[in-house]
Amino acid sequence: MIKRILGLLLAGLPFFLPCAADCKATLGIEEIKAYAAAGVKIEHLRKHKTVDWEKIETLFAKDAAKVVEKTDRAKGTDYSRAIAQALEQCRKGLKARVNQQILAKGLQHITVLNIFGLCDALMRGEAAAGPKISAFFEEIRPTFVRRDKDFFASAGKLEKTAELALEHLSQGPSEDLYTYKTDLENIILRTYALSVLYEIMEIEKFLQTNPDKCAVKQMEAMIFYRIIAGRVKRNSADAHNTITRMLDGSYSMMKASILEENLKKGLRGISLK
Amino acid sequence: MNGQALAGLYPAQKQCLTATGTNISLRPDCANGHKDQIFQTFSMMQRLIKMKVLIILLAWLYTGCSDDKHRGKADHFEVLNIGLHHASIVWRSQAPYKGRVDYVLSGSEEMQLSARQTTRASRFHHVRLMGLKPSSSYTYSIDKTGKRFRFKTKPTPGTAFSFTIIANAVSKKIPGLIMAQAPEFVVCLQWRQPDEADYLKSVRPYLPVFNFTGPDSILLEKTLDAPLKSNFPGYIDWGGLRLYFINRAPLQAQAPDYSLPARPSAHLAGVIFTGGVFNELAPGRPVKPIIVKSWLHERLIRFNKANPSAKIAFAAVAANIAFETNADDITYLAIVPGKEQSEVVRIDVDVETMTAVFTGDGREISLKQAPLAAKRTCEQCRRLADQGAYEKSIAAYVAFIENNKGHFQIDDAYFAIAGILDEKLFRPKKALNWYTRLVKEYPASTLAQFAKQRIDYLLAYSDFDYQPLAAFEQIKKRDYPRYKNNPGQMRQLFKKTEIMVQTYSQSRIAPQMQAWLANQYADSDVNKAIDAFTYLRQKWPDHPRAQKAMFDIGEALYRDGQFKKALDAYKQAIEHWPQIKEAGSAQIQRCRRNLTRISLMKISAVLLLLLGLFFFVTAWGGKKGIIQRPMRLRIIIAIITLTVLYFFGAWLIHEQFASTRELVQIVLLFSCSATAGVMTSLYVCNLLRALKPPWPWLPGILAGCASGIGVMGAMVYLGIYFINIHFLTVVNL
């Protein structure tokens, strides 16, 4: 009898161990690196003329899905389902250009949520969080490069500031940790605020010539805004309401100057341009 | 130097030494008997001088090195005493030295600034940072520790901010929990015992911590830095909030005449209470009746009746059981101290609202709500504008107009909205609409006349879609008052105005802008002012400001003290623009008068110089006995007597003097001048009579008197010219 029980337990062990590892609340550094690389690769693949959605789906399932699921559980988001749906729509060719933004920008939102969470963990004295933040950052680095190009003539203003903060954070807890934590948080918020602004500027530009592109830009702006919405709402409920009304409204309501004014109000203390 | 070098020697030794500049040498004619002794002393002195140099060099090297390398470990960094424009950074080091803090506006590309410790070198350092901007985040680093911290200056009353309240700090997790809320300061309800671990250590470089005794600081406890600690008035003012601290001092606080000091400019108020009034509270017992009966509640009610515009909205209390309840519009929040971890409560303060967020479970409690739109009064709308919340104020006025149709203050609301748009937000086009509505809908209103004037002005400069007007108004009314004490910013502002003039040179307001710019230059750079006025005359010759420009050039030159050039400019101004003849002629006369004053000043100075030279030459030439020893005594007696007499006279007319200092200066001037005059008379008179052949008696006396009067007059004139030139008007000069 005992032999049978032991035999069953031993037989179940190979199945139990990966499941237990999978259920761990914290993410391993290798897992994060794979996720970041997958994010960058997906971004690259979806910009091809003929997009291979199956390849993207496989890549996502292999390296990114676990991180997304864990983040959903920890942060109360619902990106696993939303991304799965969006990928299905894309594969079917239904509004692919709009739906792929849920995948692309959703991953960035997941990344930022994880970075902020790891920053708090670092503040609590978890030294291992430092290198993980740097690993996660690789996934959103291209956005920093693009916004540097769009707003600062590729001077690397955003990327360099983030790099400096990451360098200090990766060294683990220190007396002035909070300075670099807020530096990193602020530069992320600034970059995504600029991203929202950029998309609305694009809508203003394409409104007369290419209305189809506006739908894509609107979706991008909406997901970018989700990343910074918490801070904006806390600092100025009025600004948050104005921005959400604008992003949910018609294209004619989208004015970059009004958006910029409200983003400034909402991100009190963080300069935009 | 020479005196000092030879000071320690005997007179005989001094005779054998000569001192030239910094060199000391032995005289060749000195007796040999002294030589050995002198040589010993001399070489000892040289060694001493060399040692002095060496000591100074070593001291310099030590201080130089100690600045950078030998300071030892620094810790206990704290930010204290934060104001709108200043903050104090304190820390401790192992070795004593004079601390330095480098700081910069966070996220800006401005140049890094430095502030040094003003007190003597010590192990406890206190550096005060001045000239900061309100509601701004500053990153600072201490000496060369390589550590960077950040703090935020106090917000202005209309700005939103957050702060956190904790019951106690008994866990390592508390700094992380506090910092995650991004507050501007922390209030800790419990007093930390000196031997307890300081779990807020990592928070202190970023946020000021307060308890009921004032700033909660480890270093202040240790150094007893009285100026920062002892003057805590029992409350802190932060933005538009006044936060009262009432501690467990029931005898004082329960006294019938005890009252909380009100702050007229505050629009929100709260209380942090750390007393034992709520000891009766127990699980299961109703909370509200106990609170309502408490002496604290009675005091708060009394305060709210006396201060309806800034009522106390909440009282955060340390209690053993969790509760929150509202009694008479005051929300009581219990903050329960934990053995493992305290609850962190964040209070979000906005212009009209306050919310408490219990960060543990995310509960939100509204401590103060904005008045309902339907119940909002005109006064409340105005208060919003006073606090700098212009957009909210306009929205509130609009709601007031909507909800109170037919109300007697609607015209006030129209005018207020127009005023905010016009003079605070610089949106003249929108302001014009509201002014026009006021004039059309309420023509009988007393404000309609003002509105008409403003409409005329706005319409006169409505070209280019009001853009130059809005920009110029912004410069005049907002930027100039803000930067007028900052020369760098002012230069940028003038440059911006110059660019605007060039960009909108065809607009109707361009000559006004150019004239404003020229007038501003007149106070700082007369050459630029002249260039600006000249450009105004050339570019817009028919504009009234251009016609007056020549007169303005004269004014600028006059203010700069260039009276001759100013006189020519005034003459030209009268030629070009006869309407200004009266003012121009008056200015010409003032120029001439000032030129005369300058000439007289020069003549007096030359006269005194020549007489001085004359005395020197004649006295040097061996004319002795002119001023005898008894005479010197008489001079001193004369000066004293005259000074006393003049003081008496000056005291009778003391209201004529700008200050006591001026009175004393004039009295001394007159007494010295009179004495010098008399002395000169005697000297000249004696000199002439000592000549061969001597001058006759009468001409000698007359010449002496004339020279004495001349000296006295010249001295008095020169003195008055430099003490207070306006006294010269007494003698029509």
Strand partners, B582: none
Low-confidence winner among A255-269, B23-37, B383-397 (lowest mean pLDDT) = B23-37
Average pLDDT, chain B: 81
Sequence ranges of the domains in chain B: 2-65, 72-154, 157-368, 373-460, 469-592, 623-731
- A12 CB contacts (<8 Å, ≥6 apart)? none
Q: Which of B147, B172, B180 sits opposite A175 (nearest CB)?
A: B147
Work out the pLDDT band at A97, boundaries 50, 70, 90.
confident
End-to-end CA distance of chain A: 73
B→A interface, C-beta within 8 Å = 77, 106-108, 135-137, 139, 147-150, 152, 160, 172-173, 175-176, 179-180, 182, 202, 205-206, 348, 392
Q: What average pLDDT does range B282-299 have in this prediction?
A: 82
| Domain span holding position A173 | 27-266
Q: Which residues of B touch A271 (CB under 8 A)?
A: 107-108
Cα atoms found within 13 Å of the Cα of residue B290, Cβ hemisphere only: 17
Amino acid at B179: M
- B352 CB contacts (<8 Å, ≥6 apart)? B267, B368, B369, B370, B371, B384, B392
For residue B291, give Cα distances in angstroms to B56, B395, B473, B711. Answer: 70, 38, 54, 87
C-alpha torsion sign, points A35, A40, A44, A47: positive
Q: Which residues of B touch A257 (CB under 8 A)?
A: none
Low-confidence winner among A171-180, B171-180, B253-262 (lowest mean pLDDT) = B253-262
Regarding the domain delimited by B157-368, which CATH topology (the fold level of the hierarchy) does it fall under? Purple Acid Phosphatase; chain A, domain 2 (3.60.21)
Burial annotation B360-394 (CB, 10 A radius, 16+ → b, else e): eeeeebebbeeeeeeebebebbbbbbebebbebbb
Provide the shortest C-alpha distance from residue A175 to chain B (in Å): 6
Q: Which two tokens stand for residue B402?
A: 């909507």
Work out the pLDDT band at B278, boundaries 50, 70, 90.
low
Q: Which of B172, B179, B180 sits opposite A125 (nearest CB)?
A: B172
Provide the shortest C-alpha distance from residue A33 to chain B (in Å): 26
Average pLDDT, chain A: 85
Instruction: Give the helix ranges, DSSP H, for B377-474.
Output: 378-386, 390-403, 410-419, 428-441, 447-460, 467-474
Instruction: Say how far apart CA B524 and CA B547 lie, in whole Å.
Output: 23
The dihedrals phi and psi of B429, each to the nearest 5 degrees, come to -65, -45
Q: Which two tokens stand for residue B439?
A: 């004039």
Residues in chain A: 273
Q: Which of B89, B110, B144, B147 should we substitute to test contact with A (largest number of A Cβ atoms within 10 Å)? A: B147
**What is the CATH code for B469-592?**
1.25.40.10
Interface contact flag, B107 A182, Cβ < 8 Å: no
Instruction: Say how far apart CA B304 and CA B287 lie, in whole Å.
Output: 21
Q: Which of B139, B172, B176 sits opposite A179 (nearest CB)?
A: B139
Interface contact flag, B176 A123, Cβ < 8 Å: yes
A49 has a pLDDT exceeding 60: yes
A50-59 residue pLDDT tens: 888 888 999 9
Distance of CA B175 to the CA centre of its chain: 36
Say if residues A250 and A223 touch (Cβ distance below 8 Å): no
Interface contact flag, B202 A270, Cβ < 8 Å: no
Q: CA triplet B340, B346, B205: central angle to 5 degrees?
A: 75
Q: Which of A118, A168, A178, A185 should we substitute to test contact with B (largest number of B Cβ atoms within 10 Å)? A: A178
Burial of B138 (0-12, 13-18, 19+ CB in 10 A): buried
Q: What average pLDDT does range B616-622 have in this prediction?
A: 67
C-alpha torsion sign, points B475, B476, B478, B484: positive
Identical fold for domains B373-460 and B469-592, yes or no, is yes
Low-confidence winner among A197-201, A252-256, B22-26 (lowest mean pLDDT) = B22-26
Q: Is B37 helix (H, G, I), strand (E, B) or coil?
A: helix
Provide the shortest C-alpha distance from residue A76 to chain B (in Å): 14
Task: Please tell me if residue A180 touches chain B, with a CB cutoff of 8 Å.
Answer: yes
User: Could you say which DSSP state residue B76 is in?
Assistant: E
DSSP labels for B460-495? HT-GGGGHHHHHHHHIIIIIHHHHTT-HHHHHHHHH
Q: What average pLDDT does range B157-184 have in this prediction?
A: 84
Q: What average pLDDT does range B143-158 have in this prediction?
A: 84
Instruction: Say how far apart CA A153 and CA A147 lie, in whole Å.
Output: 9
A26 has a pLDDT exceeding 80: no
On whether residue A81 sits in a domain, the answer given is yes
Question: Which value, in Å, is the radius of gyration of the alpha carbons in chain A?
Answer: 21
What is the architecture, at CATH level 2, of domain B373-460?
Answer: Alpha Horseshoe (1.25)
A180 has a pLDDT exceeding 60: yes
Q: Which of A120, A270, A271 sits opposite B176 (nearest CB)?
A: A120
On whether residue A150 sits in a domain, the answer given is yes
How many CB pairs lie under 8 A apart between chains A and B? 49
Helix (H) or strand (E) holding B324: strand B324-327
Interface contact flag, A176 B176, Cβ < 8 Å: no
Domains identified in chain A, total number: 1
Q: Which of B107, B150, B172 sits opposite A271 (nearest CB)?
A: B107
B576-585 residue pLDDT tens: 888 888 888 9
Interface contact flag, B150 A178, Cβ < 8 Å: yes
Q: Which residue has tokens 């003490």?
A: B723
Pairing assessment for the beta strands B209-211 and B186-188 based on DSSP bridges: parallel
The dihedrals phi and psi of B636, each to the nearest 5 degrees, come to -65, -45
Report the pLDDT value the prediction gives residue B460, as an integer from 0 to 100: 92
Pairing assessment for the beta strands B137-142 and B330-335 based on DSSP bridges: unpaired
Task: Please tell me if residue A18 touches chain B, with a CB cutoff of 8 Å.
Answer: no
Cβ atoms within 10 A of the Cβ of B260, count?
Answer: 20
On whether residue A80 sits in a domain, the answer given is yes
Task: Of B180, B384, B406, give the one whose Cα is nearest residue A230.
Answer: B180
Helix (H) or strand (E) holding A13: helix A2-22
Distance of CA B396 to the CA centre of its chain: 35
Q: Which of residues 119-178 of A touch B (CB under 8 A)?
A: 120, 123-125, 174-178
On whether residue A22 sits in a domain, the answer given is no
Say if residues A150 and A197 touch (Cβ distance below 8 Å): no
B81-105 residue pLDDT tens: 899 999 999 988 888 888 899 999 8
On whether residue A11 sits in a domain, the answer given is no
On whether residue A239 sits in a domain, the answer given is yes
Report the pLDDT value the prediction gives residue B2, as an integer from 0 to 100: 43
Report the pLDDT value the prediction gives residue A153, as an integer from 0 to 100: 85
Distance of CA A105 to the CA centre of its chain: 6
Cβ atoms within 10 A of the Cβ of A44, count?
Answer: 10
Interface contact flag, A179 B150, Cβ < 8 Å: yes
Q: Which of B78, B91, B150 should we substitute to test contact with A (largest number of A Cβ atoms within 10 Å)? A: B150
Say if residues B345 and B356 touch (Cβ distance below 8 Å): yes
A16 has a pLDDT exceeding 50: no
Q: Which of A125, A175, A270 sits opposite B107 (nearest CB)?
A: A270
Interface contact flag, B136 A125, Cβ < 8 Å: no
Low-confidence winner among A85-94, B410-419, B666-675 (lowest mean pLDDT) = A85-94
B5 has a pLDDT exceeding 50: no
B532 has a pLDDT exceeding 70: yes
Regarding the domain delimited by B72-154, which CATH topology (the fold level of the hierarchy) does it fall under? Immunoglobulin-like (2.60.40)
Q: Is A210 helix (H, G, I), strand (E, B) or coil?
A: coil
Interface contact flag, B150 A123, Cβ < 8 Å: no
Q: CA triplet B572, B575, B576: central angle to 5 degrees?
A: 90
Report the pLDDT value the prediction gives residue A36, as an integer from 0 to 100: 93
Interface contact flag, B179 A236, Cβ < 8 Å: no
Report the pLDDT value the prediction gives residue B592, as an integer from 0 to 100: 92
Comparing B367 with B258, which gets the higher pLDDT?
A: B367
Q: What average pLDDT does range B126-141 have in this prediction?
A: 90
Instruction: Give the helix ranges, DSSP H, for B461-580.
Output: 467-474, 480-483, 487-503, 510-524, 526-539, 544-547, 549-559, 563-576
Q: Which residues of B touch A124 (CB under 8 A)?
A: 172-173, 176
- B668 CB contacts (<8 Å, ≥6 apart)? B643
Task: Of B3, B4, B30, give the one whose Cα is nearest residue B17.
Answer: B30
Burial annotation B181-193 (CB, 10 A radius, 16+ → b, else e): bbbbbbbbbbebe
Q: Which two tokens stand for residue A65?
A: 């899905």
Work out the pLDDT band at B68, boundaries 50, 70, 90.
very low
Burial of B120 (0-12, 13-18, 19+ CB in 10 A): exposed
Q: Which residues of A touch B179 (CB under 8 A)?
A: 123, 178, 181
On whether residue A272 sits in a domain, the answer given is no
